[in-house]
Amino acid sequence: MAVNKVYDMLIIGGGPAGAVAALYGTRAGLSVLVIEKMMLGGEITSTARLDNYPGFPDGVGGSEFGTLLEKQLANLEAPVHIGDIETVKLEGDLKKVSCSSGEFEGKTVLIASGTLPNLLGIDGELELRGRGVSYCATCDAAFFRGKTIVVVGGGDAALEETVFLSRFAEKIYLVHRRDKFRGGSWLQDKVQKLPMVEVLWNTTVSKINGDKKVSSLQIRQNGQERSLEVDGIFIYAGRQPNVPFLAGAALERDEHGYILTNDKMETSIKGVYAAGDVRRKFLRQVITAAADGAIAATAVSQYLYTY
């Protein structure tokens, strides 16, 4: 495929980190290209509400937030290419990013590709995915109106999505492998007030049963195995960096695969930056992703044109 332009900054991912980098980059006079697999907004678009972002006193819907970002980029005429990244060449002065629908060259690359949900890795999980096994409450909650479901996990995502699912499901078992939640206390308070939620502490799911769709789970509670009849299971067992295209790349990452950066979002390879959830960081939130994007674009601008 023909390569026709060398961009100042190729941005992998159009979530808050990538979109804000595009905004700051464009405003700084850089030529930028955002390469996004699906739609702008990233992970937040599959969340019901964003409640902790400044300037939205009543919160904002996740997909609405994505649409607003898209509009903001369109206003600045920041180009967006829809495509799934296959390979990257990060070493040297000319970086290359190849995706299903094109190949692009840039003086710098910003990796802002976010995270993917972890699987539980149990029998029935893959077989019944989309038939009662879900990782996205916003996408699938409506199928479980009046039903009995399980939510797995004890982090912010499990708690937040339990609150959302409580508007649909008649009964929710919140299954957590320990006796203490990891998620924020304000979310814990919200969950504890929901009458249809029963927390199963010290419990794991060992098997998902069903023929055409989920019908029951095999669970282990305090060492005892038993069956639990449910119509669906929503899994929030943490996330992992979404970087399949980095296989074999000599980019420094931590033991979980998150990209290591300094406070200018520079990685171990010159001209390669990382921002948002994909990098090792203390707090993974929309606001910190946006901040990373602003810092990365400013650092790229300095790297290319100041020094």
Active site residue 139: yes
Q: Binding ligand NAP by CB under 6 A: which of 90, 208, 237, 291?
A: 237
Beta bridge partners of 224: 221
Amino acid at 251: L
Nearer to ligand NAP, 34 or 187 (CB): 187
C-alpha distance across the termini of the chain, in Å: 33
Q: Binding ligand NAP by CB under 6 A: which of 9, 40, 150, 158?
A: 158
What is the distance of C-alpha 180 from the center of its chain?
A: 24
Q: Binding ligand NAP by CB under 6 A: which of 129, 147, 171, 182?
A: 182
Minimum gap (Å) between residue 138 Cβ and ligand NAP: 12
In this structure, are strands 60-61 and 80-82 parallel, antiparallel, or unpaired?
unpaired
Contact between 258 and 280 (Cβ < 8 Å) = yes
Q: Is residue 120 involved in binding ligand NAP (CB under 6 A)?
A: yes
Q: Binding ligand NAP by CB under 6 A: which of 178, 213, 226, 264?
A: 178
Helix (H, G, I), strand (E, B) or coil at 248: coil
User: How far from 81 is each of 33, 101, 271, CA to CA, in Å?
Assistant: 7, 9, 21
Point out which span in 129-137, 154-162, 247-255, 268-276 binds ligand NAP (CB under 6 A).
154-162
Retrieve residue 274's tokens: 């990382």
Q: Which residue in the list 84, 123, 139, 189 is annotated as catalytic?
A: 139
Q: Is residue 83 involved in binding ligand NAP (CB under 6 A)?
A: no
Q: Is residue 152 involved in binding ligand NAP (CB under 6 A)?
A: yes
Q: Is residue 107 involved in binding ligand NAP (CB under 6 A)?
A: no
Q: Is residue 292 involved in binding ligand NAP (CB under 6 A)?
A: no
Q: Is residue 284 involved in binding ligand NAP (CB under 6 A)?
A: yes
Question: Residue 143 and residue 141: Cα distance in Å, rounded?
Answer: 5
Question: Residue 304 and residue 29: Cα distance in Å, rounded?
Answer: 11
Active site residue 136: yes
Residue 7: phi and psi, rounded to 5, are: -80, 155
Residues that bind ligand NAP (CB under 6 A): 118, 120, 152-158, 160, 177-178, 182, 204, 236-239, 284-285
Which residues are the active-site residues? 136, 139-140
